[in-house]
Each structure stands twice: as C-alpha cells, then as structure tokens.
Amino acid sequence: MQLAGPNGAGKTSLLRIIAGFSAPDEGQVMWQGESIAKNYDEFARQLLFIGHKTGVNSQLSAIENLRFWLQIQGYDTEQDLYSLLAKIGLVGLEDVPVRTLSAGQQRRVALIRLWLNDAKLWVLDEPFTALDKAGIAFLQQRFLAHLAQGGAILLTTHQDLTTHFNELQTVTLEYRH
C-alpha cells in the first residue's frame, strides 16, 4: 500500500503512529484484531520499520551495524552477511565506518534488513530516497518476493509504482491548514 500526498500532509506522522511510536489523538491502531498499544511486543515481532532516520550508526561499519540490528531483534548473527552486502553493491566497503559512505550506500546498509527479517508488515518511509535506478529495481524485486510470501508493505514514496505492482493500493492524504 502506498501512502501519497504533498509534503507536510502527515505521511510520516501516520507511519509513526502505525509503528506505535506516537499515540493517535483519536482512534487506535489494530493488528490482527487487537490494539497494538495492548500487546506491543507481539506487534513489534511482526513489524519492520525503516524510517527517514534509518538507525544506522555512522561511526560503526556496515557489518557492525547489521550485527547489532540482528542482535537487538533477536535474530541469529551467524549468517553470511558479506555475500549479502556484495549482492546489494557494497563489496569492499563492509568494514569502513558508515559515515565515509555515500548517502545512497548508507541507505543500502539500512535496507539490507529487508533481506534479514521474517516480519509480516514492512513500514517504510521513503525507502527509495538516494538510491540509483538499479538499486530501486533491486528493491522492488525484494518487495515482490515479500508480497508473494503473503507479507504486507506500507510505504511512502513519490515514485510511480503502478507498473510493477498490480495489487497496489494508494491512499492520498490531503494537506489541510
């Protein structure tokens, strides 16, 4: 599902409410028939959130960042992270501090999490920012694979996604004063 709307319409705010970081003024967020506020840990297990701020520490290397993320999410860290990094185009850059990478490469470090999780719901805020064409195509392939496995994706983007995703639903927020 794509969340569209002009700058300032509240796309990011809505995503943050859905991910459970902010409380809504009215109403509640439901996940599988239950309010997420009631059982947040259970919901968090099914959620992968990558926001505008990606949660990548710029002092640590790509590998260290990934290992840390896997650990705090409770995943096994004994995985072949190097070949995964190579696949996403970061070969040779695994062990340098992330701050020395370009913006697009930093975004890739955060997006590798999409290959390393079993969450049902992906909430992504502008995932295509700073990525090149090949990167966007690669990411869209991953989206299709996730959808084929029965997962759901909620994202904001200004890209046109209709050509690749025929089940795409778009919700447009309007800017109100």
Partner 1 sequence: MLRQHSYWQLFSAVCKKDLQLAFRQRAEIVNPILFFLIVITLFPLAIGPEPGLLSRMAPGIIWVAALLSTMLGLDKLFRDDYHDGSLEQLIASSYPLPLTVLGKVVAHWIITGLPLVLMTPLFALLLNLDNQALIATVLTLLLGTPLLSFIGAIGAGLTVGLQKGGILMSLLVLPLYIPVLIFATSAIDTSTMSLDYSGQLAILGAMLVIAIISAPIAISSALKVSVS
Positions touching partner 1 (CB under 8 A) are: 16, 19-23, 41-42, 44-45, 47, 49, 51-60, 64, 67-69, 71-76, 116-118
Side chain identity at 69, as an amino acid letter? W
Q: Which are the contacts of 158, defined by CB distance < 8 A and separation ≥ 6?
A: 4, 126
Min dist CB 166 to partner 1, Å, is 28
Distance, CA of 154 to CA of 16 (rounded, Å): 12
Distance, CA of 127 to CA of 107 (rounded, Å): 8
Q: Pick the closer one to partner 1 by CB: 8 or 55.
A: 55
Distance, CA of 170 to CA of 5 (rounded, Å): 10
Asked if residue 7 lies in contact with residue 172, where contact means CB atoms within 8 angstroms, the answer is no
Min dist CB 61 to partner 1, Å, is 10
Q: Pick the closer one to partner 1 by CB: 48 or 85.
A: 48
Q: Pick the closer one to partner 1 by CB: 27 or 174.
A: 27
Q: Pick the closer one to partner 1 by CB: 117 or 159.
A: 117
Min dist CB 43 to partner 1, Å, is 9
Min dist CB 50 to partner 1, Å, is 8
Distance, CA of 120 to CA of 101 (rounded, Å): 30
